[in-house]
């Protein structure tokens, strides 16, 4: 079976500096992501990549025309209503708002910062899958090494984890690709695809902006802007050569009978 490459983008208010004590204006939070989205869309067009955009409803309300442009080629999914605050009612409200703006049925959800989310609440809010799981250990964030690496059912929903290597469970995601040499990210990707035909990778559009002026850890801002854009182009080109790029919903449709059990 041909490899399935699932690339996704978390589109949100650029609030990560506030985790480290730097307050920035709301308009700046929105525009940093918007400029990164423009570069991401151009890169996807160049490489003919179909992806999934997990978007906060608040960001979508501020850039509805861009969301419509995304929806013309890519899957639109929910990244909650706001990136820095969450209430259970946001699950339904964000899905409704994104569907209204994009004109597309929203099937997927990813919780900001990959925090746990109640599967029953997701089902009640009308979602088909949850993409909030990274089955690895990130110090200070989460320890999910005991959870399944591949796509699986949890109650009524599909869980679609980010990809990690077999055995050691090294994550291949935005922070690792940013900091490790490209040859190592490619090696980890190959190892994953030797075991399964599914590979899931995500990043943020703000990474393609120059982050040098922000109070962020070295591992977050060291490679950003033009350097990250170049690195991402090389990595995405490699992933595209390894299989068929598709959205999360496409994968469920083709591999799991439309997402049904």
CA pseudo-torsion sign 98, 99, 104, 107 = positive
**What is the predicted pLDDT for the residue at 261?**
39
- Phi, psi values for residue 101, rounded to 5°: -75, -45
Low-confidence ranges of the chain (pLDDT < 70): 1, 258-261
Q: Rounded to an integer, what distance in angstroms lies between the CA atom of residue 124 and that of residue 62? A: 27
**What is the predicted pLDDT for the residue at 259?**
52
Number of C-beta neighbours around residue 42 at 10 A: 12
**What is the predicted pLDDT for the residue at 1?**
60
Q: Rounded to an integer, what distance in angstroms lies between the CA atom of residue 101 and that of residue 60? A: 7
**What is the predicted pLDDT for the residue at 140?**
79
Q: Give residue for tokens 């070295």.
A: 218
pLDDT in tens, 146-164: 999 999 999 999 999 999 9
**What is the predicted pLDDT for the residue at 125?**
98
Number of C-beta neighbours around residue 178 at 10 A: 20
CA pseudo-torsion sign 146, 152, 157, 158 = positive
**What is the predicted pLDDT for the residue at 18?**
95
**What is the predicted pLDDT for the residue at 71?**
98
pLDDT in tens, 22-47: 999 999 999 999 999 999 999 999 99
Q: What DSSP letter does each residue of 7-76 carry, written as one string?
A: EEEEE----GGGGGT----HHHHHHHHHHHHHHHHHHHHHHT---EEEE-HHHHHH-HHHHHHHHTTSEE
**What is the predicted pLDDT for the residue at 258?**
55
């Amino acid at each position: 079976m041909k490899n399935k490459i699932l690339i996704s983008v978390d589109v949100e208010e650029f609030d990560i500096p506030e985790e480290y004590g730097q307050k920035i204006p709301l308009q700046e939070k929105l525009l940093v992501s918007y400029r990164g989205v423009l570069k991401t869309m151009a890169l996807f067009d160049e490489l003919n990549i179909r992806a999934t955009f997990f978007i906060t409803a608040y960001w979508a309300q501020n850039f509805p025309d861009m969301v419509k442009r995304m929806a013309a080629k890519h899957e639109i999914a929910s990244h909650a209503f706001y990136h820095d605050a969450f209430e259970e009612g946001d699950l339904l409200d964000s899905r409704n708002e994104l569907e209204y703006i994009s004109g597309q049925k929203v099937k997927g959800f990813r919780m900001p910062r990959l925090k746990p989310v109640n599967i029953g609440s997701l089902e009640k809010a009308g979602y088909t899958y949850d993409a909030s799981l990274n089955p690895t250990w990130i110090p200070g964030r989460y320890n999910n090494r005991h959870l399944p690496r591949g796509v699986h059912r949890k109650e009524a929903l599909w869980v679609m984890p980010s990809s990690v290597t077999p055995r050691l469970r090294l994550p291949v995601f935005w922070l690792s690709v940013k900091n490790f040499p490209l040859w190592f990210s490619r090696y980890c990707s190959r190892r994953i695809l030797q075991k399964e035909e599914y590979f899931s990778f995500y990043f943020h559009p703000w990474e393609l902006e120059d982050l040098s002026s922000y109070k962020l850890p070295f591992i977050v801002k060291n490679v950003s802007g033009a350097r990250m854009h170049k690195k991402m182009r090389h990595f995405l080109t490699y992933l595209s050569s390894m299989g068929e790029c598709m959205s999360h919903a496409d994968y469920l449709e083709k591999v799991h009978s439309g997402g049904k059990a």
